[in-house]
Amino acid sequence: MKMLRSLVWYATSLVVCVVFLFPIYWIFAVSLKKPEEIFRSPPAWFPSEPQFNNFRVLFTEGDVWSIFNSLVISGSATVIAMLLGTLCAYGMVRFRIGGEHLSTFIIAQRLLPPIAIVFPLFLVYSQLGLADTYHGLILLYTAFALPFVIWMARGFLLEVPPELEEAALIDGCTRFGALWRVAVPMARNGLFATAVFAFIYSWNEFLFALIMTRNNVMTYTVQISNYFGPQSTFWAKIAAMSVLGTVPVLILVSVMQRYLVRGISLGAVKG
């Protein structure tokens, strides 16, 4: 009886996993198929001769630059947002700057529709020549990542006992020294997880990039979207580019297991 229940449990789990992972499997499978096999009806369940030519094309035709652009923009924005966001969170936690109004303002920034911000911002950006430049996009993505970073960092810094910093202050450490040498090392793991998730969210972003980038700094998500044309749709490239964009995320998430719940619930749930 117990055996049977266990069996049912495993069977159910397996079915659910297959259903949820199938689309991911499919895009990987398509990316390995030969072009003529991609457009076979009915579709082949497995790539009959797996090959990496679809990926090679991305490199030879230069499409892979969009991955590089995503990396530069998301990476820089994450670093800046982590520095400013951790400082801000520290000010909020230890000095109670801004009180509840500031917390609400910051969390609301994460929840409001991005199109409402990016539409008027585009008008300003194109006037100032900031659209389709690295620095313009990095600034935008920094602002996009900041609410999340502040929010997460705030949660992790709240868990650092203030007594330790007070001891450091008495020993002649400055406030900033206390943050840098006591609080940050204590919250190290959490802050690292925050950076990883901030990077993933920026990496995954589409709407800002769609509006703000053209040829110079097009990100990989915009590149994929451009493969969908009214007449021709480049499935091989779509699949290969999606795989290139997804693999880093999958790797980062499997490293970040422990902080996953906190990362996706804005720190509301400590898993």
Partner 1 sequence: MTTAQSSVFGRPFGAGRSVRPGFWYVAPAVFILILIGLLPIFWSIWVSLLNLTGSNRDGTFIGLRNYARIFSDEKLGWSLVRTLMIMAVALPIQLVLGMLLALHFQAEKPLKKLFVTLLVLPAVISPMVAGSMWRLMFDHKFGPVNQIISFFTEKPVVLLWTIRGDLPFWSIIITEVWQWTPFMFIILMAAISNVDRDQMNAAAIDGARPHQIFRHVVLPAIWPVLIIALLIRGLDLFRIFDSVWQLTRGGPGNRTETISVFMYIRGFQGFDTSYIAAVVVVLAVVLSAIVMLAVRRVGLDR
Task: Count the Cβ atoms, other than its own, within 10 Å of residue 143.
Answer: 16
φ and ψ of 222, to 5 deg: -70, -40
- Binding status of residue 139 toward partner 1 by CB under 8 A: yes
- Binding status of residue 68 toward partner 1 by CB under 8 A: no
Q: Output the smallest distance, CB 16 to partner 1, in A.
A: 7
Using the CB atoms, write b or e for 154-192: b if 16+ within 10 Å: bbbbeebeeeebeebeeeebeeeebbeebbbebbeebbe
Cα–Cα distance for residue pair 207/174, rounded to 1 Å: 42
- Binding status of residue 199 toward partner 1 by CB under 8 A: no
Residues within window 154-173 making contact with partner 1, judged by CB under 8 A: 173
Q: Which residue number, 14 or 167, has a Cβ lying nearer to partner 1? A: 14
Q: Which residue number, 107 or 186, has a Cβ lying nearer to partner 1? A: 107
Q: Output the smallest distance, CB 61 to partner 1, in A.
A: 19
Residues within window 3-62 making contact with partner 1, judged by CB under 8 A: 6, 9-10, 12-14, 16-17, 20-24, 26-27, 30, 38-43, 45
Cα–Cα distance for residue pair 89/113, rounded to 1 Å: 23
Cα–Cα distance for residue pair 37/31, rounded to 1 Å: 11
Q: Quote the tokens at residue 6.
A: 């266990």
Using CB under 8 A, pick the residue from 72, 107, 184, 186 that binds partner 1: 107
Q: Output the smallest distance, CB 67 to partner 1, in A.
A: 12
- Binding status of residue 239 toward partner 1 by CB under 8 A: yes
